[in-house]
Amino acid sequence: MKRKQTISLRQILLCFFILLCMTNCNDESSKRPGITKSKTEKKLNSSAFFQKKELMPIGAYYYPEQWPKEQWGRDFKNMAAFGFEFTHFAEFSWAQLEPKEGFFDFVWLDEAIDKASKAGLKVILCTPSACPPAWMGINHPEIYLTGFDGNRKEHGLRGNASLSNEVYLMYVDKIVSAMARHYEGDKRILGWQVDNEPPAIADFSPSAKTVFHNWLKDKYKTIDKLNDSWGGSFWSTRYDNFDQVVIPDELMNNEDKLSPHAVLDFRRFTADITARFLNRQADIIRKYILPSQWITSNYTNVTIQSDPRRSDHLDFPTFTMYPINGRNELGGDNFRTGVPYKIYEACDYYRPINGVTGIMELQPGQVNWAPINPQPEPGVIHMWLMQAFAGRCSFVCTYRYRHPLFSSEMYHDGIVGTDGVTLSQGGREFVQAINDIKKLRTQYDSTAVMPETLLKIKTGILWSHDVMWDLDIQPQTAKWNTWKFRNNYTSAVKSTAAPMDFISEKDDFSKYPFLVAPAYDLIDEELVKKWQEYAENGGNLILTCRSGYKDKNGHFFESGWAGPLKKLLGSSIEYFDMLPDGSTGTVNFDNCDYKWDIWSEVLSPGEGVDVLAAYSDQFYKGKPAAITRKCGRGSVTYIGAATNDGLLERQLVREIYKRAGSKIEDLPKGIYMEWRDGFYVAVNYTDNNFDIPIPTDAAIIIGSNPVSPANAVIWKLKGK
């Protein structure tokens, strides 16, 4: 009897709280369907959070709850003595922070922060929302995410909650508020991370369905508009009202395809819900922090389902980075040095979102989760750290300081080994990098500006998650891989040593003398106009196959292929082709044949258009595969063929820089060269020594030239 009364009282309070949250959400204006902006949001100048002269402080995760209290002090002292400047606490520790519903325990965390601070370490605090404690799931099983098969997730994993479930969200609000209030104005806290690697998993739970319906109502207002957008006249898929709408299950999307427009909207919804979840936590924390403290989340470096640009209440996004994941991109020993484009692509993607980024987790050695987990090549962890510096990271943190002795990740390396005190190979390389950063600090020049030669080749990569989702939903050939396609283009750009930023349609294109838009298939009139003006004003625009085929709903245009691009290209696209496994076609460029097998478009150039490359076999032998034309003071190029090895793309992109009269480098894949704050940095993922084009009178500060495999070299030009 007594128990019953307690539960019902709690339930009444819960309903009241939920209603309160819902009313609070409803009275705000929204930018995207179903997404509300808090009054506490403020636009910040993110670069103000970090002192440029400190370049890139390095820190390490520590989980006090996993170690005897008596060892904390020793561990923090050692960490600080190794040169780490900050640590990272509380991620996943909800069961310790709220051991019983409504009972918060900060005593242990206070003690850990106190000890860390006394050792000279600042602390990044993390909200534990990824791991709801057991009591929550027992009392409210509806908090869990439901898979497409109707199976509900259970306790014991992380990222297992439904981000649409108001009960879960209410508990998140409570723990985040309690933490933020408890550490209000605490100067020992460097900044906050909300959640962990926001995964944006498709959720088929009843709560997700309701919130999806509301999102659709917000977006379409009337069911007829939704039916038009989703192609409701096809296969009787139309709905009479929003409540009938079924969550589109992509896994059913094999032979008989679901409406791709419905799937695209569900991807957008899932990303929006994730962004709302992160924003909601940020809004709470924001009320209690000092202006110098920041809020971020740690996205995975390859973020497919969540879209970091949507989480606009965070100060800046950070990312996690595990370059060795079982792949061997370059052959030879590259399985020990890591996928070569991961670090530069992540830095160049995350940094421009709000001007600042950092690596929240950098692989410290062997991991536990890849299909096969080889030892990293000695030296390579140091090399990654130097590349993170080159990519203008404001800090790097590593997961994790101590090698775990138990549970799921016990085969994961740390900075120190299983004895808790001895540096691992990765640990030694972190310490080496820490000392190198200290050395670079002594040579930091606050007046250094990017050299003209680099500014003249600065390149934007136009990227949108909506575009990536649309291509992934309708690949049309099993060989299509949007991410790999983009890698081929960024590799081509990086071979020139051009500084690169991923940018969005909303950004100012004019800062970039070169702009590459890989397979940018969703367009509208406004974007075509922006591209046209960009080129007319002197920009060099490079479009590729699969550009401009569809409107923003993902419908084809009622015109020839990519009809709205016809004027911009001065050409049209006649048809496209793809090849089965085992077949390759060839494209001739500059008297060399290049293999293609993924996608080809046969182009029909108009007057004043130069044919750059043509097909040299198939029934369309001799027809153009790539074209370019002058457009006002700039140029427009279209590359219609997609290759697996990226060699054709590399040569064609390089040709555009050359035609524009730019001075570019010629770096093979796996060798990257960057500029930061007056320092030049080069790294080597290949198996061979490489002679970096360093001027003879430059001063080498770190490493040596030729740069050997798994090594970095850093230099400064004379007098700079």
Binding site for ligand GAL (CB under 6 A): 196-197, 320, 322, 361, 367, 369, 399, 409, 412
For 14, residues 6+ apart whose C-beta sits below 8 A from its C-beta are 167, 170
Check: CB of residue 486 under 8 Å from CB of residue 463.
yes
Q: Least distance from C-beta 158 to ligand GAL, angstroms?
A: 8
Q: Which is nearer to ligand GAL, 32 or 400 (CB)?
A: 400
Check: CB of residue 431 under 8 Å from CB of residue 82.
yes
Q: Least distance from C-beta 358 to ligand GAL, angstroms?
A: 14
* Rounded Cα–Cα distance for residues 442 and 1 (Å): 71
Q: Least distance from C-beta 412 to ligand GAL, angstroms?
A: 6
Nearest Cα residue to 403 out of 395, 393, 414, 394: 414
Check: CB of residue 488 under 8 Å from CB of residue 649.
yes
Residue whose pair of structure tokens reads 């099983």 in the numeric block: 141
Q: Least distance from C-beta 556 to ligand GAL, angstroms?
A: 38
Check: CB of residue 656 under 8 Å from CB of residue 635.
yes
331 CB neighbour count, 10 Å cutoff: 9
Which residue intervals of 565-646 are DSSP H helices? 566-569
Q: Which is nearer to ligand GAL, 302 or 717 (CB)?
A: 302
Q: Least distance from C-beta 86 to ligand GAL, angstroms?
A: 17
Check: CB of residue 595 under 8 Å from CB of residue 611.
no
For the CA atoms of the chain, what is the radius of gyration?
Answer: 26
Q: Least distance from C-beta 513 to ligand GAL, angstroms?
A: 37
Q: Which is nearer to ligand GAL, 364 or 554 (CB)?
A: 364
Residue whose pair of structure tokens reads 């009787």 in the numeric block: 236
Q: Which is nearer to ligand GAL, 65 or 186 (CB)?
A: 65
Q: Which is nearer to ligand GAL, 196 or 394 (CB)?
A: 196
Burial degree of 395 (CB within 10 A; 0-12, 13-18, 19+): buried
* Rounded Cα–Cα distance for residues 539 and 513 (Å): 5
Helix and strand numbers, DSSP H then E, in the chain: 18, 24
Q: Least distance from C-beta 336 to ligand GAL, angstroms?
A: 17
Q: Which is nearer to ligand GAL, 92 or 557 (CB)?
A: 92
Q: Least distance from C-beta 374 to ligand GAL, angstroms?
A: 14
Nearest Cα residue to 238 out of 265, 217, 262: 262
Q: Which is nearer to ligand GAL, 137 or 365 (CB)?
A: 365
Q: Least distance from C-beta 408 to ligand GAL, angstroms?
A: 8
Q: Report residue 612: phi and psi, to 5°.
A: -85, -40
Tokens coding 1? 């009897």
Q: Which is nearer to ligand GAL, 196 or 387 (CB)?
A: 196
H/E element, 127? none
Q: Which is nearer to ligand GAL, 409 or 687 (CB)?
A: 409
Q: Which is nearer to ligand GAL, 94 or 690 (CB)?
A: 94
Q: Least distance from C-beta 366 to ligand GAL, angstroms?
A: 10
